C-alpha cells in the first residue's frame, strides 16, 4: 500500500508518456484533455486515497507505532555504502503526502479545464504525474539518497514543466535557469550528504537520529553539515541567494505554478529541515543562519512583490516571502509551526494561483493586472474564492493564514532562538503582504474594467480555440470576451477555499493537534526566552491583526482610486523602479558570475586550449619536421658531395684511430 502512493502517479506517467510517444510515432493526432487528464487524475486520486487510508491507520495506532516502512529494493550497495530504497511513512511524511496528493488531485482536475486546448495534453499530464511521483518519493524517502532522488526528480519535472511551452525562448530559458540554480543548491546537499556519511557512516534517517544522540560530534562539523544541507534548501525553496529562479518559473502553465512553485516542491526545503531537525537542533549557529535568511528573504521578496504588475509574478514573490516565513519558523526552532504554515500556505497559495489561472484563462492570456479591473462582476465565482485566499494570506482571523503566520511571529519573538528583531522583520513582512495582496486584489477584481469588454456576440468567436502559448493580439482589437471558467476549474478552487478558511483549526495555539501529532518526529520545541510573558502572546496577536488591517486599508486608500494610485506611483518613482526591477539581483548575478565565467571559458578554450596546449603539441610535431628538413639538406643528390663526406668520414675515423695509437 505504501509503495502504491508514489507508484500510482508513476504508472499514470508511464501510461500518458507511452501514449504520447506512441502517438507521436504515428503522426501525433490531438487527444482530448479529458482522457489524458482523467487517467492522470485517477492515479493521483487513488494515491490520495491510499495516503488517506494509511494516515487513518496511523491515527488509530499507538504513538510509538506510527511509522510504516517498506523496502522496495536495494539501490546502492558497495562496501560500507548500503542504500536500500526504503519508503517511510510517519507523522511528518504523512502530512506532506496528504497535501501533495490532495492538492495535487485538485490541481490535476483544474488542469483538465485549463489545458483543454493544449496540443498534447498527455505530455502535460505525464509530466505532472511524474512530478507527483518524485515529490512523494522525496517526502517518503527513508534515507537521504532516496530523498535526493526525489529532490532532483522534482527539479527535473520543474524544468520540464516550466519550459513546457518551449517554443518561446524566454520560457525555455526560465526552465533552464530553474534547473541550474537548483543544481547549485544540490551541490550543497550532496556535500552535506557526504559529510554526514563520513561522520556518521549512515544516511538513513532513523539510524542517523540514533547516531546523532549517541555519537559525540564537534559543533563545527554539525554546523557545516546543517549549512551545506541548507544551501540545498535555499535552492529548492527559493531563498536568498538562490531565489532568482522562482519568479522566472512563472513561465510555466499556471497549474504548474500552483502545484510545484507554491504548494509542494518549494516547500521541500522546509521538509528537509524538519526531517533533520534533530541535527539542526544541535547547531544554534546553523539555526541562526536559517532564521536570518528566512526573515531576510521574507522581507526582501515582499518589497519586490509590491511593484510587480504580472499577476503571477506578484504571487511568485509572495511565495518566496512566505517560504521565508517558514524558514524563519524552522530557524527559531518551531519546526511544527513551519510545517503548519507549509500546509496552510499550500491551500491558500494553490487557491490564489489557480484563481489567477482562472483569471488568465478568462482574460485570454492577459497577465498584467494594470489591464484588468472589475472582474468581480465578470467572473463572480473566481472573485469569491480568490477573496478567501486573499484574506487568508493577508492574515485576517480566523482564516488559516492568520493562525499559522501568527504562530510563527509569536515563536520568532518568544523562542530562545528568536529575537525582537526577527519579530519586527516578520511583522513588517506581514504588513507588506497584506498591502501587496490587497493591491493585487483591488486592481484585478474591483473598480471598473481597464480593458475593452467585448460584446457578447464576440464570445463564441474568441472563446476557445486559442492555443495557450500564443496571443491575445486580436483580442486587443476587438475587446476581451471575459468569461467565467468552467466548473471543472471552479470546483477545485471552491474546495481549496474551504480548506484555506478552516485549515487553521489543526494548529490553534495551545491546543494544537498538529504540534502534538508531529512531536515524536521533530526536535523538541524550543524553550521560551525567560523575559517573555505569556500575556505578550495575546498582545502580539492583536498587533498582527492590526498590522494586517492597516496593510489592507492602506492598499484601499491608495489603489481604491486610480488617481491616487497614479500620484503614489510618481511620488515613489525611483523606488518603484528599483523594486519592479527586483533590486537588480538578476543583473548582479549576470555581471558577477555568469558573464565572467563565460568569458573565462572562452579564454580557456580559444587561448589556453588552442593556443597553448595544442600549440605545444603541434610545435613538437613541427620540431621533428624541422630537424628532418635540416638533415635533408645534406642529401642534395650531388654524388660528389657524398663522396667528399665519405672521405671526410674516412679520414676522421683513421685520424681518430691513429690518435689512439700514438697516445
Partner 1 sequence: MASSTSCLLSWLVFLPLLWALVGLCIPTNTASGLKLSKLSALIGSLVTFAVSICVYQQFDPASAQAQLAENHAWIPSLGVGYRLGIDGISLWLVLLTTFLTPIVILSSWESVEKKVKAYYALILALETAMLGTFLAMDAFLFYTFWEAMLIPMYFLVGIWGGKERIYAAMKLFLYTMAGSLLMLVAIFYLAYQYKLQTGLGYSMYLPDLYMVKIPSGGYLAPQSLLFLAFTIAFAIKVPLFPLHTWLPDAHVQAPTAGSVILAGVLLKMGGYGLIRFVLPLFPDAVRLYQTPMLVLGTVAITYGALIAWVQTDVKKLVAYSSVSHMGYVVLGIFALNPTGMTGAVYQMLCHGISTSGLFLLVGMIYDRRHTREMSDFGGISKVMPLFAIAFMIILLSSAALPGTNGFIGEFMILLGLWQTSQVLAAFAALGVILGAVYLLFMFQKVMLGPVTGDENKRLKDLSLREVAVLVPLLIAVFWMGFNPGFWFKKMQTSIDASLVPYSQSAVASSNAEKVGTPWNP
Partner 2 sequence: MIPVPVPVILSFCAAIFFIGLAGVLIRRNILVVIMSIELMLNAVNLTLVTFSAALDHPHGQMAVFFIIVVAAVESAVGLGLVIALFRTMRTVDTDQIQLLKG
Question: Is residue 76 a contact residue for partner 1 (CB under 8 A)?
Answer: yes
The phi and psi torsions of 456 (rounded to 5 degrees) equal -55, -35
DSSP, residue by residue, 255-306: HHHHIIIIISGGGHHHHHHHHTHHHHTT-HHHHHHHHHHHHHHHHHHHHHHH
**Chosen residue from 513, 644, 650, 656 binding partner 2 by CB under 8 A:** 644
User: What's the rounded Cα separation, in Å, for the pair 388 and 396?
Assistant: 10
Instruction: State the Cα angle at 561 between 560 and 564, rounded to 5°.
Output: 115
- CB-nearer residue toward partner 2: 530 or 637: 637
Residue 639: contacted member of partner 2, partner 1, none (CB under 5 to 8 Å, by partner type): partner 2
**Minimum CB separation from partner 1 for residue 351, in Å?**
31
Question: Is residue 643 a contact residue for partner 2 (CB under 8 A)?
Answer: yes
3-state secondary structure of 84: strand
DSSP category for residue 397: T
Residue 632: contacted member of partner 1, partner 2, none (CB under 5 to 8 Å, by partner type): partner 2
Residues making up the chain, counted from first to last: 663
Binding mask 456-475 for partner 1 (x = CB under 8 A): --------------------
User: What's the rounded Cα separation, in Å, for the pair 618 and 615?
Assistant: 5
DSSP category for residue 582: G
**Chosen residue from 40, 107, 128, 149 binding partner 1 by CB under 8 A:** 149
Site size with partner 1, rule: CB under 8 A: 55
Using H for helix, E for strand and C for coil, what is the string for 421-434?
A: HHHHHHHHHHHHHH
Segments in 91-204 forming alpha helices (H): 91-114, 121-140, 144-162, 169-200
- CB-nearer residue toward partner 2: 513 or 650: 650
- CB-nearer residue toward partner 2: 1 or 658: 658
Question: Is residue 647 a contact residue for partner 2 (CB under 8 A)?
Answer: yes
**Chosen residue from 43, 163, 419, 429 binding partner 1 by CB under 8 A:** 163
Binding part of the chain for partner 2, among 137-145, 210-218, 290-298, 641-649 by CB under 8 A, reads 641-649
**Minimum CB separation from partner 1 for residue 194, in Å?**
4
- CB-nearer residue toward partner 1: 156 or 384: 156
**What is the H or E stretch that residue 77 is in?**
strand 68-78
Hey, which residues between 611 and 640 contact partner 2 (CB under 8 A)? 632, 635-640
Residue 648: contacted member of partner 1, partner 2, none (CB under 5 to 8 Å, by partner type): none
**Chosen residue from 52, 98, 156, 525 binding partner 1 by CB under 8 A:** 156
- CB-nearer residue toward partner 1: 76 or 592: 76
Question: Is residue 191 a contact residue for partner 1 (CB under 8 A)?
Answer: yes
**Minimum CB separation from partner 2 for residue 649, in Å?**
14
Hey, which residues between 596 and 655 contact partner 1 (CB under 8 A)? 597-598, 600-602, 604-605, 609, 613-614, 617, 621
**Minimum CB separation from partner 2 for residue 647, in Å?**
7
| Burial (Cβ within 10 Å: 0-12, 13-18, ≥19) of residue 547 | buried
User: What's the rounded Cα separation, in Å, for the pair 384 and 348?
Assistant: 13
**Minimum CB separation from partner 2 for residue 657, in Å?**
19
**Chosen residue from 77, 581, 627, 652 binding partner 1 by CB under 8 A:** 77
- CB-nearer residue toward partner 1: 149 or 258: 149
C-alpha cell read off for 35: 482522457
Residues 308/250, Cβ–Cβ less than 8 Å: no
Angle between helices 268-275 and 219-236 (to 10 degrees): 160
**Minimum CB separation from partner 1 for residue 208, in Å?**
16
Question: Is residue 25 a contact residue for partner 1 (CB under 8 A)?
Answer: yes
- CB-nearer residue toward partner 1: 511 or 616: 616
Question: Is residue 21 a contact residue for partner 1 (CB under 8 A)?
Answer: yes
204-209 long-range contacts, Cβ below 8 Å, gap at least 24? 204/86, 204/142, 204/143, 205/88, 205/142, 205/143, 205/144, 205/275, 205/276, 206/88, 206/142, 208/276, 208/278, 208/279, 209/278
Residues 289/230, Cβ–Cβ less than 8 Å: yes
Residue 180: contacted member of partner 2, partner 1, none (CB under 5 to 8 Å, by partner type): partner 1
Cβ neighbours for 188, distance < 8 A, ≥ 6 positions apart: 227, 228, 229, 230, 231, 232, 234, 235
**Minimum CB separation from partner 1 for residue 292, in Å?**
24
Interacting residues toward partner 2 by CB under 8 A = 632, 635-640, 642-644, 647
Interacting residues toward partner 1 by CB under 8 A = 20-21, 24-25, 28, 73-81, 145, 148-149, 151-153, 156, 159-160, 163, 166-169, 172-173, 176, 179-180, 183-184, 186-187, 190-191, 194-195, 197-198, 597-598, 600-602, 604-605, 609, 613-614, 617, 621
Amino acid at each position: 500500500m505504501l509503495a502504491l502512493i508514489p507508484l500510482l502517479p508513476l504508472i499514470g506517467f508511464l501510461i500518458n508518456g507511452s501514449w504520447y510517444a506512441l502517438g507521436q510515432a504515428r503522426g501525433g493526432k490531438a487527444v482530448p484533455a479529458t482522457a489524458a487528464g482523467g487517467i492522470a487524475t485517477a492515479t493521483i486520486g487513488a494515491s490520495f486515497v491510499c495516503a488517506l487510508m494509511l494516515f487513518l491507520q496511523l491515527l488509530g495506532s499507538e504513538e510509538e507505532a506510527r511509522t510504516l516502512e517498506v523496502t522496495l529494493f536495494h539501490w546502492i550497495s558497495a562496501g560500507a555504502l548500503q542504500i536500500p530504497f526504503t519508503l517511510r511513512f510517519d507523522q511528518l511524511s504523512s502530512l506532506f503526502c496528504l497535501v501533495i496528493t490532495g492538492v495535487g488531485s485538485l490541481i490535476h482536475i483544474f488542469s483538465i479545464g485549463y489545458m483543454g486546448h493544449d496540443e498534447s495534453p498527455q505530455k502535460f499530464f505525464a509530466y505532472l504525474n511524474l512530478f507527483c511521483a518524485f515529490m512523494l518519493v522525496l517526502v517518503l524517502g527513508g534515507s537521504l539518497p532516496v530523498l535526493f532522488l526525489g529532490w532532483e526528480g522534482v527539479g527535473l519535472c520543474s524544468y520540464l514543466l516550466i519550459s513546457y511551452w518551449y517554443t518561446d525562448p524566454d520560457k525555455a530559458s526560465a526552465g533552464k535557469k530553474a534547473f541550474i540554480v537548483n543544481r547549485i543548491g544540490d551541490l550543497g546537499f550532496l556535500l552535506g550528504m557526504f559529510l554526514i556519511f563520513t561522520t556518521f557512516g549512515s544516511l538513513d534517517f532513523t539510524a542517523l537520529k540514533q547516531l546523532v544522540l549517541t555519537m559525540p560530534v564537534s559543533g563545527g562539523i554539525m554546523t557545516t553539515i546543517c549549512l551545506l544541507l541548507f544551501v540545498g534548501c535555499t535552492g529548492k525553496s527559493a531563498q536568498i541567494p538562490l531565489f532568482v529562479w522562482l519568479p522566472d518559473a512563472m513561465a510555466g502553465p499556471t497549474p504548474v505554478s500552483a502545484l510545484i512553485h507554491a504548494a509542494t516542491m518549494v516547500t521541500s526545503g522546509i521538509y528537509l529541515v524538519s526531517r533533520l531537525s534533530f541535527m539542526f537542533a544541535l547547531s544554534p549557529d546553523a539555526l541562526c543562519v536559517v532564521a536570518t535568511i528566512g526573515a531576510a528573504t521574507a522581507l526582501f521578496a515582499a518589497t519586490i512583490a509590491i511593484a510587480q504588475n504580472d499577476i503571477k509574478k506578484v504571487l511568485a514573490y509572495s511565495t518566496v516571502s512566505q517560504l521565508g516565513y517558514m524558514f524563519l519558523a524552522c530557524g527559531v526552532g518551531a519546526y511544527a509551526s513551519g510545517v503548519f504554515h507549509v500546509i496552510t500556505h499550500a491551500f491558500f497559495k494553490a487557491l490564489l494561483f489557480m484563481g489567477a489561472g482562472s483569471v488568465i484563462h478568462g482574460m485570454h492570456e492577459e497577465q498584467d493586472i494594470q489591464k484588468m479591473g472589475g472582474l468581480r462582476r465578470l467572473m463572480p465565482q473566481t472573485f469569491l474564492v480568490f477573496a478567501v485566499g486573499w484574506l487568508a494570506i493577508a492574515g485576517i482571523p480566523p482564516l488559516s493564514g492568520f493562525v499559522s503566520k501568527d504562530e510563527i511571529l509569536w515563536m520568532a519573538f518568544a523562542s530562545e532562538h528568536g529575537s525582537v528583531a526577527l519579530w519586527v522583520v516578520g511583522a513588517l513582512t506581514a504588513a507588506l503582504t497584506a498591502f501587496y495582496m490587497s493591491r493585487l486584489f483591488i486592481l484585478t477584481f474591483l473598480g471598473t474594467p481597464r480593458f475593452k469588454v467585448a460584446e457578447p456576440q464576440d464570445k463564441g468567436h474568441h472563446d476557445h480555440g486559442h492555443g495557450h502559448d500564443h496571443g491575445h493580439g486580436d483580442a486587443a482589437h476587438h475587446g476581451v470576451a471575459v468569461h467565467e471558467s468552467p466548473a471543472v476549474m471552479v470546483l477545485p478552487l471552491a474546495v481549496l477555499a474551504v480548506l484555506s478558511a478552516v485549515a487553521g483549526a489543526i494548529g490553534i495555539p495551545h491546543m494544537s493537534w498538529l504540534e502534538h501529532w508531529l512531536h515524536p518526529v521533530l526536535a523538541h520545541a524550543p524553550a521560551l526566552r525567560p523575559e517573555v510573558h505569556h500575556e505578550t502572546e495575546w498582545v502580539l496577536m492583536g498587533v498582527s491583526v492590526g498590522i494586517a488591517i492597516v496593510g489592507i486599508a492602506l492598499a484601499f486608500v491608495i489603489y481604491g482610486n486610480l488617481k491616487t494610485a497614479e500620484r503614489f506611483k510618481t511620488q515613489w518613482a525611483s523606488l518603484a523602479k528599483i523594486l519592479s526591477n527586483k533590486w537588480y539581483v538578476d543583473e548582479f548575478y549576470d555581471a558577477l558570475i555568469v558573464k565572467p565565467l563565460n568569458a573565462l571559458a572562452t579564454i580557456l578554450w580559444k587561448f589556453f586550449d588552442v593556443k597553448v596546449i595544442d600549440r605545444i603539441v603541434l610545435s613538437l610535431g613541427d620540431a621533428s619536421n624541422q630537424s628532418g628538413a635540416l638533415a635533408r639538406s645534406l642529401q642534395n643528390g650531388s654524388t660528389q658531395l657524398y663522396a667528399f663526406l665519405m672521405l671526410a668520414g674516412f679520414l676522421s675515423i683513421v685520424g681518430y684511430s691513429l690518435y689512439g695509437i700514438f697516445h
